[in-house]
Structure formats: structure tokens, C-alpha cells
């Protein structure tokens, strides 16, 4: 249900912000440069330029949805929240002889994550005790209890009554409204009802916000981010977890490239090498690196060696194929021209084939880095002592959703950083790519 509302708001934000902003700030919606003069733009991909206002709004919208659907303290418009505080309802007990009496149940609803919050001295808060109430008169006495937000409580109202349930006291009405066992009544604070056996229940209203277990508020995640940096998790700081994962990827990728590129060149240059390596490469290439994890763990254990071997294998085939297709992508006229200019085989390789295959190798390297990054996280999920994957899988066992989200964001940022970095290096090393 909440999901449908989120989706509807998101779709509404997409169209609504366009309709409103395109009228208010039309300068962001004008085509600029040469595209300004084009009359045909729908279908002309080259005329499509990302509207940066939309990009900003997209991120802002996501952030706002995060705030709006969690119990965040950030002052932004939010969805109706769960009930918090004290509420009460009355129950009417009826005896077998028909006499009735009314009692009041006072319920204190407290934060479900109260033990995760800390007081001024840094000690965790404790769940509150039952509020004190006057017992009142009649055979049905007033009761009090506590329940956590998003929780549910079956309330034994007879425990202080003069006539117990066993002796024939039944609940016939809640808040003055007649009710049968199994029935439910909505109140402003939540839902009261009777179980099938006739015991009153109370479920505080949840609103539309998600509880911390499912989605912690942004400020909690930010706080957790700094906490992980200073205090660490499972004996390693966040930087150490990240560093180990990145180090594994870099070493594994580097070794894969170091071995793979020469093999790829050999496959592109000699019949014997192509014949020799073809079956291995064609067989190993379609195997997802993740399928190798069990074998790697058996062979190498869960230490660094196993991870690096796995990432080496993940990068190896990609780099072999990239180098091989890099060689086959060399225009034969370039090779002929170089021979006619007096180059020998070594010079053909170093001056023509290697530089000419760099674009292909870089495309392969980008793919390999992406695969390695995905593989290292998965490998750490399965078995590791330290690493981002290890951090989030351990956090999930302790239901520390905030740590999982910090981990996912760091994984995303690093993956994005790798991609951007590779593109920068590519533009610097091979400026002619895509321009010939």
C-alpha cells in the first residue's frame, strides 16, 4: 500500500514538476546552441541534452521521499506518522447475570527504536514502564500498559478486576461500542479489538511512515556513517572495509590485465595461440565469477588469496577478449602502411597494434572493473573477515539497516568513481577514440 503511494507521488513529481517548472523557469527548458535552430527535435537523439534542473529535482525528490516516509527529524513535509504517546479506551465487562461495569485502559506508545537512542550521558534509553492509573470503582478496574510503535498488544484487562474471565466476565463493548470476539474498532490512536477468545487488543496507528528496521531516516544513516568512520564495525573502520574491497579489486584486476592482455595479443597474432587458448576462453567466459566462489573458498579459504584469485579470474577473460578484438580491430591498411614504411614485426606490435588496440582494451578494462567490483562485494557476502560486503551482510544479521544502507551507498559511490576515473584516464590516453 505504502509502495503504491510512493510510486504515485514519484510519478506525480515527475510530471508535475515538469508542468510547473516549464512555465515558471522557462530558461531551463530552452534548447541552446545549434539545437536552438532545429525544428525537428523529437527523434533527433543529438538534440537531447540532459536537463540539469530535472537531475537536481530527481535527487531532491528521492531524498524528500526518504524523509517523508520515515520518522525523520528533518523539517520537511512528511506523511502521517505513527501514533506516539498516551491514549486510552474504555471496555465494558458484562457478567453472566447481566451486570456491567466500565474500565479504562491507558496505553503508552513508545518509540520502537528507543533502545537505539541515547541519553545525554550516552547510555541507551530503556522502554518505559506502565503508566500509573487509579484503579477506579466497580468490579472492572482501570488498566495501563505500554506498546511500541508499529507494535500490537493483547491486554489482559481482568488481571486486576474483581471478576475474572474464568468466572464469567466478558468484554461486550469497547469505547462504548458493542463488539463481538474477533471484531475491530478504529480510533484516532490506532485500532482496538477483541481476539477470537474475547481479549482486548490494541495496535497503535502506523501512519504511512516506515519503521527504522525497514528504512532508517536519512539523519540516522548519516550519523551511522560518521560512527562507522570513528568507531568502526566488527573491528574495522568503514575506511578499512572500503580499502580492503578496493585493494582486492585493484590487485585482482591488475593481475588479470597483466596476464590477459598478452594472451589476447597472442591470440590475435598467432594461429597456435588462438587454437591453444580458444577452448579455455570460450568455456570460461560464460561462467559467472560468482559460480566459482564455492570452489575458490575450498581451494584458498576465505583469506585475501581466494578473493584475489576470484577477481583475477573475473578480469582475465574479459581482458583476453578485449585485447584479442583490439588486434582484430586494427585496419589492415595501417599494418600494410607500417610494413611499407620499413617497420619490423616488433615495431608493428609496439607502434601500431598496441596503440591501435588501446580503445578496445580500455572498454574491456571498464567492463572488467565493473564486474570485479560486483564480484568482490558478492564474494565478501559469502565469506570474508573484512570488506564492504562482509560489513553489510553482518549488519543484516543484526538487523542494522542503517549500516546496510551506508554500505550500499559507499559501494555505489566507489563503483561510480571507478567508472568516472576510467573514463578520465581513457580521454587522456586515447583522445582519438570515437573521432576517426
Q: Which residues bind other proteins (CB under 8 A)?
A: 331, 333-334, 336-344, 347, 351-352, 355-356, 358, 430-432, 435-436
**Range 88-113 burial, b when 16+ CB lie within 10 A, else e:** bbbbbbbbeeeeebebbbbbbbbbbb
3-state helix, strand, coil in the chain (%, to 5): 55, 15, 30
Report the C-alpha gap between 424 and 406 in whole angstroms: 27
| Cβ at position 281, least distance to other proteins in Å | 25
Please say which residue, 166 or 435, places its beta carbon nearer to other proteins.
435
Please say which residue, 11 or 331, places its beta carbon nearer to other proteins.
331
| Cβ at position 357, least distance to other proteins in Å | 11
Please say which residue, 188 or 344, places its beta carbon nearer to other proteins.
344
Please say which residue, 123 or 344, places its beta carbon nearer to other proteins.
344
| Cβ at position 325, least distance to other proteins in Å | 18
Please say which residue, 226 or 432, places its beta carbon nearer to other proteins.
432
| Cβ at position 338, least distance to other proteins in Å | 7
Within 10 Å of residue 278's Cβ, how many Cβ atoms?
A: 12
Please say which residue, 170 or 334, places its beta carbon nearer to other proteins.
334
Please say which residue, 37 or 341, places its beta carbon nearer to other proteins.
341
Q: Is the distance from CB of 324 to CB of 268 less than 8 angstroms?
A: yes
What are the backbone dihedrals phi and psi of residue 174, each rounded to the nearest 5 degrees, phi first? -125, 135
Report the C-alpha gap between 419 and 409 in whole angstroms: 15
Of the candidates 76, 54, 80, the one whose C-alpha atom is nearest the C-alpha of residue 65 is 76
| Cβ at position 391, least distance to other proteins in Å | 43
How do 100-110 and 143-148 pair as beta strands? parallel
Q: Is the distance from CB of 93 to CB of 139 less than 8 angstroms?
A: yes
| Cβ at position 342, least distance to other proteins in Å | 4
Cell numbers at residue 110, please?
513508545
| Cβ at position 431, least distance to other proteins in Å | 7
Report the C-alpha gap between 290 and 216 in whole angstroms: 30
* Run of H or E including 192: strand 190-194
Amino acid at each position: 500500500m505504502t509502495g503504491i503511494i510512493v510510486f504515485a507521488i514519484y510519478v506525480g513529481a515527475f510530471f508535475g514538476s515538469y508542468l510547473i517548472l516549464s512555465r515558471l523557469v522557462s530558461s531551463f527548458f530552452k534548447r541552446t546552441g545549434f539545437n536552438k535552430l532545429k525544428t525537428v527535435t523529437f527523434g533527433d537523439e543529438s538534440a537531447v541534452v540532459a536537463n540539469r534542473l530535472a537531475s537536481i529535482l530527481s535527487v531532491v525528490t528521492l531524498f524528500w521521499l526518504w524523509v517523508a516516509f520515515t520518522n525523520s527529524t528533518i523539517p520537511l513535509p512528511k506523511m502521517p506518522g505513527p501514533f506516539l504517546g498516551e491514549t486510552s479506551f474504555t471496555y465494558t465487562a458484562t457478567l453472566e447475570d447481566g451486570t456491567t461495569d466500565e474500565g479504562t485502559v491507558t496505553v503508552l506508545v513508545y518509540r520502537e527504536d528507543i533502545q537505539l537512542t541515547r541519553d545525554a550521558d550516552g547510555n541507551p534509553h530503556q522502554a518505559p514502564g506502565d503508566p500509573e492509573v487509579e484503579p477506579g470503582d466497580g468490579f472492572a478496574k482501570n488498566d495501563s500498559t505500554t506498546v511500541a510503535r508499529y507494535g500490537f498488544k493483547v491486554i489482559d484487562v481482568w488481571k486486576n478486576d474483581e471478576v475474572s474471565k474464568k468466572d464469567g466476565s466478558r468484554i461486550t463493548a469497547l469505547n462504548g461500542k458493542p463488539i463481538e470476539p474477533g471484531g475491530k474498532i478504529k480510533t484516532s490512536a490506532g485500532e482496538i479489538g477483541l481476539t477470537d477468545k474475547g481479549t482486548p487488543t490494541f495496535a497503535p496507528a502506523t501512519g504511512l511512515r516506515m519503521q527504522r528496521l525497514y528504512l532508517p531516516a536519512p539523519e540516522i544513516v548519516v550519523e551511522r556513517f560518521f560512527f562507522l568512520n570513528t568507531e568502526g564495525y566488527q573491528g574495522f573502520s568503514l575506511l578499512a572495509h572500503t580499502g580492503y574491497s578496493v585493494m582486492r579489486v585493484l590487485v585482482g584486476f591488475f593481475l588479470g590485465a597483466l596476464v590477459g592482455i598478452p594472451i589476447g595479443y597472442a591470440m590475435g597474432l598467432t594461429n597456435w595461440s588462438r587454437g591453444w587458448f580458444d577452448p579455455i576462453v570460450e568455456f570460461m567466459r560464460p561462467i559467472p565469477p560468482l559460480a566459482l566462489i564455492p570452489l575458490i573458498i575450498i581451494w584458498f579459504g576465505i583469506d585475501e588469496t581466494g578473493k584475489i584469485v576470484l577477481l583475477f579470474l573475473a578480469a582475465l577473460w574479459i581482458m583476453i577478449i578485449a585485447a584479442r578484438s583490439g588486434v582484430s580491430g586494427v585496419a589492415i591498411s595501417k599494418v600494410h602502411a607500417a610494413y611499407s614504411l620499413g617497420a619490423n614485426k616488433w615495431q608493428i606490435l609496439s607502434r601500431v597494434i598496441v596503440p591501435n588496440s588501446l580503445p578496445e582494451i580500455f572498454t574491456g578494462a571498464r567492463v572488467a572493473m565493473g564486474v570485479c567490483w560486483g564480484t568482490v562485494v558478492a564474494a565478501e557476502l559469502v565469506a570474508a573477515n573484512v570488506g564492504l560486503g562482509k560489513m553489510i551482510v553482518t549488519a543484516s544479521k543484526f538487523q542494522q539497516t542503517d549500516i546496510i544502507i551506508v554500505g550500499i551507498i559507499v559501494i555505489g559511490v566507489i563503483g561510480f568513481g571507478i567508472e568516472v576515473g576510467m573514463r578520465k584516464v581513457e580521454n587522456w590516453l586515447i583522445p582519438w577514440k570515437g573521432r576517426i
